[in-house]
Amino acid sequence: MSGNLVLCVCGGGSGAHALAGMAAQKGVEVRVLTLYEDEAKQWSRVLKKEELTVVVNESNRPPREVTSKPNMVTKDPEKAIPDSNVIIFTVPASVHEIYLKTIAEYIGKRALVVGLPGQAGFEFQCRDILGEKASYISIMSFESLPWECRVREFGKRVEILGTKMYLTGSLIRGKSVTKPPLMTLQKFLGSQPILRQSKHFLETIIMSYSFFHPAIFYGKWKDWDGKPVSEAPLFYHGIDEATAELLQKCSDECMAVASSVLEAAATKANLSDVKDIHHWFMENYKNEIEESCDLFHSITTNKAYQGLTHPMKEVFGGMEPDFSSRYLTEELPMGLVVFRGLADVLGVQVPHSDMLIEWGQEKMGKEYLVGGKLTGKDIDSTRCPQRYGFTTLEAILTGEKSN
């Protein structure tokens, strides 16, 4: 592996634009790998004529612009992956498997592979697909993207609407020596968010709060009469207090699972930093929240969420909710079902999470949870630990599949 710092950004969306622009501005060799040929060609054409501009909005300051040029945008993993010290996934979790299988043979044994976000089960999937190589590389998984961001002009301009104060990621160190994980990633992002390492990778799985978007979706549309609406309702700022209460109950279930892990394996999995969702909001959006007295107000007065609406699709007579959006199609199989799998291994009851899974799978036409068991026909499309043969807590902690 070369001595220079080489970053490969996997993806072509808003997060990939923002990360590529911020890192390239720091003098890092940045390669962008998107498996969509049209995206790669379009972005490459733009870069021949234009620099990539990242517009950064910061609290109580005028927007600032960061301009730079990634070194490469390609569809070819053989060009993008070899010699990359750090490989960061900014793509939806639903396509992590495709990317991992495509790049697996080109990943060096001293690479740092990062899910930004990784979402629940990223470590299980990496270990399964990369096989023996997974024991050499280091794997990090972060709870979310560092920012709320939107592409304004593809390949040319992206806007960061808000930046988190802190971002926590888990680290599974491999046998090989990699670039210093947190120090390297902090260089890419700049001074904020402040990156922190969790005490154990299960902390990131639990604190991905994968119930969050499904619960808001449920709260708005559970009693929908099927008639089109005239406009897309606000997503975060449009929640009611009943939805906020449901969010808190789901957060309580996360805390119960963390407590159970601590009781069963305190010396192997320190989850003492797991916190409830209201605490997390106050910590990560301190400068964006106008009123933080409770969870409801912490969400509805969060300036980073201003104007963001429910995913909708146009139909005759108006608009209707898009139940094929990532808030269900990604965050159930790559999030809530994974958490449910961990709860199942520990024997912890999570009725509110179950309710969201059952409602969401019906809207999606999928089947994960049947009669309270993760035995549905679509379970192999999820990242729950049981899918990969991790059916005991010991197997989950060590990565050695259950017999």
Kindly report the CATH number assigned to the domain that includes residue 283.
Answer: 1.10.1040.10
pLDDT at 3: 57
User: So which residues are the catalytic ones?
Assistant: 213
What does 218-265 look like in DSSP terms, one character per residue? Answer: HHHHTT--S--BSSPPBSSTT--HHHHHHHHHHHHHHHHHHHHHHHHH
User: Roughly what angle, to the nearest 10 degrees, separates helices 212-221 and 351-364?
Assistant: 70
Name the pLDDT band for 28 (thresholds 50, 70, 90). Answer: very high
Residue 84 near residue 190 (C-beta atoms within 8 A): no
Residue at 52 is within a domain = yes
Domain boundary (197, 222, 251) is at 197
The C-alpha angle with vertex 223 and arms to 220 and 224, in degrees rounded to 5, equals 75
The tokens of 117 are what? 């976000």
Are 170 and 279 part of one and the same domain?
A: no
Query: In terms of domains, do 167 and 254 share one?
Result: no
Q: Kindly report, residue by residue over 291-336, the tens digit of the pLDDT.
A: 999 999 999 999 989 999 999 999 999 999 999 998 999 899 999 9
Instruction: Indicate whether 266 pLDDT > 80.
Output: no
| DSSP per-residue letters across 279-327 | HHHHHHSTTTBS--SSHHHHHHTBGGGTT-B--EEEETTEEEE-TTSHH
Of 176, 197, 218, the residue that ends a domain is: 197
Instruction: State which residues form the domain around 262.
Output: 205-398
Looking at the fold, whether 157 and 14 belong to one and the same domain comes out as yes
Distance separating alpha carbons of residues 247 and 280, to the nearest angstrom: 13
> What local confidence, expressed as pLDDT, does residue 320 receive?
97
Does the pLDDT value for residue 285 go beyond 90? no
283 and 161 in a common domain? no
- Counting residues of the chain whose pLDDT is more than 70, the rounded percentage is 99
pLDDT at 400: 80
Looking up residue 102, the CATH number of its domain turns out to be: 3.40.50.720
Q: How far apart are CA 339 and CA 209, in angstroms?
A: 9
Residue 352: pLDDT band (50, 70, 90) is very high
* Torsion sign, CA atoms 138, 143, 147, 153: positive
How far is the C-alpha of 288 from the C-alpha of 283, rounded, in Å? 10
- Give the count of domains, the chain: 2
Contact criterion met (CB below 8 Å) for 375 and 364: no
- Contacting residues for 229 by C-beta, under 8 A, at least 6 apart: 318, 319, 320
Are 13 and 126 within one domain? yes
Is residue 165 very low, low, confident or very high in pLDDT (cuts 50, 70, 90)?
confident
Residue 15 has pLDDT above 60, yes or no: yes
Gap between the Cα atoms of 128 and 122, Å rounded? 10
pLDDT of the residue at 2: 44
Contacts of 232 (CB under 8 A, 6+ apart): 309, 310, 312, 319
Residues 68 and 193 in one domain: yes
Question: What is the tens place of the pLDDT at every residue in 125-153?
Answer: 999 999 999 999 999 999 889 999 999 99
246 and 99 housed in the same domain: no
Q: What is the mean pLDDT of the chain?
A: 93
pLDDT-derived band of residue 208, with 50, 70 and 90 as boundaries? Answer: confident
* Six-digit token string for 29: 């060799």
Give the amino acid at 297: H
Q: Is 149 found in the same domain as 44?
A: yes
**Sign of the torsion angle spanned by Cα atoms 197, 395, 276, 251:** positive
| Residue 93 in tokens | 């979790």
Q: What is the pLDDT of residue 292?
A: 92
Q: Is 1 part of any domain?
A: no
Domain end position, chosen among 197, 218, 252:
197
What angle is formed at CA 239 by the lines to CA 238 and CA 242, rounded to 5 degrees?
155
d(CA 301, CA 313): 26
State residue 1's pLDDT score: 40
pLDDT of 162 over the 60 cut: yes
Other beta carbons within 10 Å of 299 = 24
Q: Of residues 244 and 119, which shows the higher confidence score?
A: 244
Q: What is the pLDDT of residue 402?
A: 67
Which residues are bridge partners to 99 per DSSP? none
Do 236 and 186 belong to one domain?
A: no
Whether the per-residue pLDDT at 269 is higher than 90: the answer is: no
Residues 6+ apart with CB under 8 A from 289: 281, 282, 297, 298, 301, 302, 303
Asked whether residue 122 falls in the same domain as residue 217, the answer is: no
Which two three-digit tokens encode residue 323? Answer: 């139940």
355-400 tens-digit pLDDT:
999 999 999 999 999 999 999 999 999 999 999 999 999 989 888 8
Residue 403 lies in a domain: no
102 and 249 together in one domain? no
Q: What span, in angstroms and rounded, lies between the C-alpha atoms of 363 and 262?
A: 35
Residues 363 and 266 in one domain: yes
